[in-house]
Structure 1
Amino acid sequence: MPIAAFGDHAPGSSHTVRDREPTAMPLPGLLSRLQLFRGLTPDQLRAVAAGCRFVALDRGEIVFHQGDPVRGFFFVLRGQVQITVSTPDGARKVMEIIREGEGFGEAVVFEGIDYPVTATALARTELLAVSSAAVLGLLDRDPGFARRMLANMAGRLRGLVQDVKSYSLRSSAQRVVGLLLSEAEAYGTPRGEVRLPARKQVLASRLNLAPETFSRVLHDLSADGLISVDGHRITLHDVPRLAARLE
């Protein structure tokens, strides 16, 4: 059962919709820290805040299902959300993993169509739900906000295009190496330690690989002395040699 984030929460449901901030920061102040809403006036921030709700989910809870009517979009304040698409035969493909500070669901707000994907919490997660009505009027009145919204969607599109190129042109080993190097650049420690952002089967689907292929590549890289694997923590021992695998 998906959450009811926009005012239609079902009694007795296990999902939690919070009408008060989980932190001491007022909602307009929190919105002003998100890239999309930077530059808005205090009055504009208060208007958007009136259409927002905090949502708490446990691991495995659904934010929305593929085919649900669009009611708004979301920002991850804590935790992670996976975006999946289902095929008619019931297979699921992980399209994205959304992390803290990132948003999802913005593009379909413009079209007013059903959500084309399913969003699921990968861990205990705190979301900020922003209703469609809270932003559509602002888009008409504020060209700067409209440009930021378009830039945000363009960045997401570039990422998806890069994914398609990776699936089409890179081997399975290169996809895994690319993931490790990307994680190391964005989130790694000075000692080259990386923590995988999700379970291996989720990451395998994200890379369009079978789970056993993902595990085999990690084993081969470890056998070559390029990495060490300790559960979800991976240490990169030779970044230049790993990067050479992408050539």
Structure 2
Amino acid sequence: MLHSDDTYRHYLRQLPEFCDFTEEEFTKLTHDLSVKTYPKGQVLFDHGDPRQSFYYVIKGVVRLERQDETGNFSFINYVKAIKGFPYRGLYTDEDYPYTATALTAITIASVPMASFEAIVSLNPLVTRQVIRQMSQLLDRMENRLQKLVTSSATARVIQALSIFGTDMGEKAPEGDVLIPYPITLIELARLSGTTRETAGQVVNKLEAAGKLTYNKKRFRFEPNDLSI
């Protein structure tokens, strides 16, 4: 379903990743703006496809995934609403470095990558913001790799839950974290590099210990208290 209109332009203009553009820059950037909705499971692009667009998630969550050369290890990241991607490969890569799939139903905006790169390079405020975004992503990825490289399947499942909290969680009034999107045990197993059965066993143990609730595929927990 296509929605390109001034309503979305006005909405995007107020957001952090767009508010530092000048009016002229923003007009040029969004000249070919496209806003579409996709169902869960829709592939936006595959690893190796020409890097043609910069995307911004308006609603829902996108999974970014790349496998190593052996096909045995997957690197997974999630982009929730009010976040853009891909920042990796700006000004250097011709192809997308990973596959992007709708983890939930999504509404997503896109602009031509060539326009995004050209206009960003002209505005020091936006350039600094992009560098800050890339720095934050690198920091998160390094921490994530350190935490997930463990032989303990239980520890990997717990770390994967923590990653869900970081990438998609919302702070509840009680102080714990709610993942407001439906997350299957298969997705948890996928991120933690284990089986659905093992992921389910860990979740059941955490629930029995009062450390977590999993209702209608939505997780809720205190990130600092995830242990068995």
TM-score, length of structure 1 as denominator length:
0.77
Matched, 1:59 2:43: no
Counterpart position of 1:10? none
Q: C-alpha deviations, 1:50-96, integer Å up to 9, x for none?
A: 13211221221110011101102211111211111134565573511
**Contact conserved, 1:193 with 1:233, CA < 8 A, in 2?**
no
The one-letter code of the counterpart of 1:82 is R
**Contact conserved, 1:72 with 1:106, CA < 8 A, in 2?**
no
Residues 98-137 of structure 1 correspond to what in structure 2 (within 5 A)? 98-137=79-118
Query: 3-state DSSP class of the match of 2:24?
Result: helix
Counterpart position of 2:7? 25
Matched, 1:190 2:173: yes
Query: 3-state DSSP class of the match of 2:90?
Result: helix
Deviation, 1:223, is: 2.8
Which runs of 5 or more residues in structure 1 are unaligned?
Answer: 1-15
Q: How many residues align?
A: 224
- For the pair shown, which has the larger CA radius of gyration, 1 or 2? 1
Cα distance, 1:94–1:203 mapped onto 2, change above 3 Å: farther
2:30 to 15, 37, 49: 49
Q: 2 CA distance for matches of 1:52 and 1:240?
A: 38
Query: 3-state DSSP class of the match of 1:36?
Result: coil
Q: 1 CA distance for matches of 2:81 and 2:103?
A: 12
Query: 3-state DSSP class of the match of 1:55?
Result: strand
**Contact conserved, 2:34 with 2:109, CA < 8 A, in 1?**
yes
The one-letter code of the counterpart of 1:151 is R
The one-letter code of the counterpart of 2:205 is D
The one-letter code of the counterpart of 1:25 is T
Cα distance, 1:143–1:170 mapped onto 2, change above 3 Å: farther
Q: 1 CA distance for matches of 2:3 and 2:143?
A: 38
Matched, 1:155 2:129: no
Which aligned runs of 4 or more in structure 1 are off by greater than 4 angstroms? 87-92, 178-182
2:127 to 146, 167, 174: 146
Q: 2 CA distance for matches of 1:92 and 1:164?
A: 12
The one-letter code of the counterpart of 2:124 is P
**Contact conserved, 2:58 with 2:106, CA < 8 A, in 1?**
yes
Matched, 1:77 2:58: yes
Taking only the aligned residue pairs, the percentage that are identical comes to 20
Q: 2 CA distance for matches of 1:241 and 1:151?
A: 26
Query: 3-state DSSP class of the match of 2:140?
Result: helix
Which runs of 5 or more residues in structure 2 are unaligned?
Answer: none
Q: Which moved more, 1:212-221 or 1:222-231?
A: 222-231
Q: Which moved more, 1:163-172 or 1:143-152?
A: 163-172
Cα distance, 1:233–1:55 mapped onto 2, change above 3 Å: closer
Q: What's the Cα RMSD here?
A: 3.0
Residues 228-239 of structure 1 correspond to what in structure 2 (within 5 A)? 228-236=213-221, 239=222
Q: 2 CA distance for matches of 1:136 and 1:69?
A: 15
Matched, 1:242 2:228: no
Cα distance, 1:159–1:193 mapped onto 2, change above 3 Å: closer
Query: 3-state DSSP class of the match of 2:17?
Result: helix
The one-letter code of the counterpart of 1:206 is L
Q: C-alpha deviations, 1:172-214, integer Å up to 9, x for none?
A: 4344444556629941433547347422211222233332222
**Contact conserved, 2:60 with 2:106, CA < 8 A, in 1?**
yes
Cα distance, 1:173–1:101 mapped onto 2, change above 3 Å: same
TM-score, length of structure 2 as denominator length:
0.82
The one-letter code of the counterpart of 2:82 is G
